Amino acid sequence: MDFKQFLKGLQAIVGERNVVYHSDDLLVFEYDGSVDRGMPDAVVFPSSAHEVSQIIKLSRRAGVPVVGRGTGTGLSGGAITAPGGIQVAFPRMNHILEVDTENRLALVEPGVINLDLDTHVRKFGLRYAPDPSSQKACSLGGNIAENAGGPHCLAYGTTTNHVLGMEVVLEDGQIVNLGSLARETVGYDLRGVFTGSEGTFGIATKIAVRLLPVPEAVRTFLGIFPDVESACTAVSAVIEQGIVPAALEMIDALTIQAVQKVSDAGYPDDAGAVLLIELEGLQDEVDEIGEEVEAALWDTGATQVRAAEAAEEREQLWVGRKGALGALGSIAPNYFLVDGVVPRTQLAPVLAAVADISVKYDIPIANVFHAGDGNLHPCLLFDERKPGALDKIVEAGTAVLQVCVDAGGTLTGEHGVGLEKKEQMPLVFSTDDMAAMVLVRDAFAPANSLNPGKIFPDGKKHTPHAHTAAPGMTI
In order, the DSSP letters of 220-272 are EEEEEESSHHHHHHHHHHHHHTT---SEEEEEEHHHHHHHHHHS-----TT-S
Confidence at 470, pLDDT banded by 50, 70, 90: very low
Is pLDDT at 472 greater than 60 in this prediction?
A: no
- Looking at the fold, whether 84 and 100 belong to one and the same domain comes out as no
Summarize the confidence of residues 193-206 as an average pLDDT: 98
458 and 342 belong to one structural domain: yes
* pLDDT at 108 > cutoff 90: yes
Beta strands in 23-131 (DSSP E): 42-44, 66-69, 86-89, 96-100, 105-108, 126-127
Cα separation, 423 vs 427, in Å, equals 9
Residue 140 included in any domain: yes
Residue 205 has pLDDT above 70, yes or no: yes
Calculate the alpha carbon distances from 99 to 78, 147, 158, 380 in Å: 30, 22, 21, 41
Beta bridge partners of residue 280, listed in sequence order: 218
CB 375 within 8 A of CB 339: yes
Domain assignment present for 474 = no
Residue 266 has a pLDDT of 82
How do strand 378-382 and strand 334-337 relate by DSSP bridges? Answer: antiparallel
Distance CA 36, CA 467 (A): 9
- Name, in order, each residue with C-beta under 8 angstroms of 220's C-beta and a sequence gap of 6 or more: 276, 277, 278, 279, 307, 308, 309, 313, 314, 317, 318
Mean pLDDT, range 376-405, rounded to an integer: 95
Q: Which of 58, 89, 120 is the last residue in one of the domains? A: 89
pTM: 0.93
Q: What are the tens digits of pLDDT across the range 44-91?
A: 999 999 999 999 999 999 999 999 999 999 999 999 999 999 999 999
Contacting residues for 298 by C-beta, under 8 A, at least 6 apart: 305
* Closest to 427 in 3D by CA, of 406, 454, 455: 406
Look at residue 141 and tell me if it is in a domain. Answer: yes
Same domain, 250 and 334: no
Mean pLDDT of 35-48: 96
Least confident piece of the model among 32-46, 199-213, 220-234, 316-330: 316-330
Q: Do 166 and 238 belong to one domain?
A: no
Q: Which residue has the higher pLDDT, 156 or 463?
A: 156
Rounded CA gap, 222 and 268, in Å? 12
Region of poorest pLDDT, from 235-244, 324-333, 466-475: 466-475
49 found inside a domain:
yes
Count of structural domains, the chain: 4
Evaluate whether residue 473 is within a structural domain. no
Report whether 247 contacts 277 (CB < 8 A): yes
310 and 334 both lie in a single domain: no
In a domain, 57, yes or no: yes
Which residues make Cβ contacts (< 8 Å) with residue 48, sequence separation at least 6? 93, 205
Cβ-Cβ contacts under 8 Å for 30 (sequence gap 6 or more): 37, 38, 39, 40, 80, 81
On the question of pLDDT at 469 being above 60, the answer is: no
Where does the pLDDT of residue 384 fall: very low under 50, low under 70, confident under 90, or very high at 90 and above?
A: confident
- Residues 353 and 355: their CA atoms lie apart, in Å, by 5
Phi-psi region of 242 (alpha: psi -120 to 50; beta: other; left: phi over 0): left
- Averaged pLDDT, 336-365: 96
| Of 300, 322, 344, the domain-final residue | 322
Q: Does the pLDDT value for residue 338 go beyond 80?
A: yes
**Do residues 46 and 8 both lie within one domain?**
yes
**273 and 259 both lie in a single domain:** yes
Same domain, 357 and 457: yes
CATH number at residue 401: 3.30.70.2740
Average pLDDT for 170-190: 91
Same domain, 436 and 409: yes
20: domain range? 3-89
Residue 70 CB partners (closer than 8 Å, separation 6+): 79, 89, 90, 110, 111, 138, 139, 141, 142, 143, 145
Q: Which of 213, 211, 275 has the alpha carbon at shortest distance from 245?
A: 275
Q: What is the CATH number of the domain that holds 171?
A: 3.30.465.10
- Per the CB < 8 A criterion, the answer to whether 164 and 105 are in contact is yes
Cα–chain center distance at 458: 24
Question: How many alpha carbons fall within 13 Å on the CB side of residue 377?
Answer: 28
pLDDT reported for residue 322: 84
- Average pLDDT (118-137) is 96
Is residue 195 left, alpha or beta, with left meaning phi > 0 and alpha meaning psi from -120 to 50? Answer: beta
Q: How confident is the model at residue 282 (pLDDT cuts 50, 70, 90)?
A: very high
Q: Which of 55, 89, 123 is the last residue of a domain?
A: 89
Segment 350-355 shows an average pLDDT of 97
pLDDT above 90 coverage of the chain, percent:
86
Per-chain mean pLDDT for the chain = 94
Structural domain includes residue 417: yes
Whether 120 is in a domain gets the answer: yes
Cβ 401 vs Cβ 350: under 8 Å: no
Q: Which of 333, 328, 238, 240 is nearest to 276 (CA)?
A: 238
384 in the same domain as 346: yes
Is the same domain home to 223 and 199? no
Which amino acid, one-letter code, is at 405? Answer: V
Are residue 334 and residue 454 in the same domain, yes or no? yes
Question: What letter would DSSP give residue 423?
Answer: G
Under the banding of pLDDT at 50, 70 and 90, the label for residue 461 is low
* pLDDT band with cut points at 50, 70 and 90 for residue 468: very low
Lowest mean pLDDT among 89-98, 180-189, 226-235: 180-189
